[in-house]
Amino acid sequence: MALSPRVPELGALELLLAVARLGSVGRAAAALGVSQPAASARIKSMERQIGVPLLDRSPRGSRPTEAGRLVVEWARHVVEAAEAMDAGIDALRGRRDARLRVVASLTVAEYLMPGWLLALNAASPGTAVTLRTANSVEVAAHVLAGEADLGFVEGTGTPSGLEGVVVAADRLVVVVAPGHAWARRRSPVTGGELAATPLVLREPGSGTREVLEEALAPYGGIAAPRLELASSTALKAAAMTGAGPVCLSELAVTEELATRRLVAVPLAGLDLHRPLRAVWPAGHRPVGPARVLLGLTRASG
């Protein structure tokens, strides 16, 4: 049910309570930071709205009339309820602003997110972060469904329905075990050779797979994979056991390349660089901790 037009607005009730407490329209106006003429006009407008005089005015000040005392009592309950609501809203906002839901592709989650979250903890130590991992297609779906405040994807473009910004750069490499024939090649592997070779790959929907498929499209696309695996750790293990050439992020194999447990295969005529993006629903820029984290990722990038 709609309120009657006779019910004054909250600011007018606060002013009436201040007059009753301080005994003067002038002192009430000063306490609330308004001019005395404006306060007097507001009291008179409220009296017309309610239909009864609320104050007895004299040179010594103002005090509520008999009807005014009733309105003051009612106003006190209304203002106290409004203050309780205001405090509750602040608590809700504080709880929301102290929580951050992130969903990230596996490469970002494993190799970049730990440093970013350490920086976030230093900048906003009270923030509780929930981090989920998924491939890039699934990340986009989670963000679009409102299940994450910020997402991080790999791939060649920003997923439909999302806005994003590049926060880091990455490069895909093809690696093999030291005993593989490609580890001893003197000439680079061409795009045609790579396209014709069954590789150990990430599953469809991953940003790594998308970039490789786009790079090999001019050569007829990728051959049927030897294996499809869902994590960089599994891909590296497969490569080291001799399952075949593996394509994955350079970030994931830094240690293995340095210790010669894996060997990077030189490639001819292929650009396997890719951007890593932060994404959010179109038209809804990140706020609160999500905005802080976004700023930290861009600064580190």
- Interacting residues of 38 by C-beta distance below 8 A, sequence separation 6+: 29
**256 burial via Cβ count (<10 Å: 0-12, 13-18, 19+):** middle
Using the predicted structure, report yes or no on whether residue 96 has a pLDDT greater than 60. Answer: no
CATH code for the structural domain at 100-300? 3.40.190.290
DSSP letter assigned to residue 271: -
pTM over 0.85: no
Residue 301 has pLDDT above 80, yes or no: no
- Confidence label for 93 from pLDDT (cuts 50, 70 and 90): low
Structural domain spans, the chain? 10-96, 100-300
pLDDT band with cut points at 50, 70 and 90 for residue 163? very high
244 has a pLDDT exceeding 70: yes
Contact between 13 and 79 under an 8 Å Cβ cutoff? The reply is yes
Cβ partners under 8 Å of residue 70, min gap 6:
none
pLDDT in tens, 174-215: 999 999 999 998 899 999 999 999 999 988 888 889 999 999
CATH topology of domain 10-96: Arc Repressor Mutant, subunit A (1.10.10)
DSSP H helical segments within the chain, as ranges?
10-22, 25-32, 36-50, 66-97, 106-111, 113-123, 136-144, 191-196, 207-216, 232-240, 254-258, 288-300
Q: 72 φ, ψ to 5°?
A: -60, -45
Q: How far apart are CA 225 and CA 54, in angstroms?
A: 84
Q: pLDDT tens digits for 119-152? A: 998 988 888 899 999 999 999 999 999 999 999 9
Sign of CA dihedral 80, 81, 85, 86: negative
What local confidence, expressed as pLDDT, does residue 267 receive? 94
pLDDT at 190: 94
Look-up: residue for tokens 């929580």? 99
Query: What single string gives the DSSP state of each residue in 196-207?
Result: HS--EEEPTT-H
Type of residue found at 116:
W
Q: What does the alpha-carbon distance between residue 290 and residue 295 come to, in Å, rounded to a whole number?
A: 9
The token pair at 175 is 């690696």
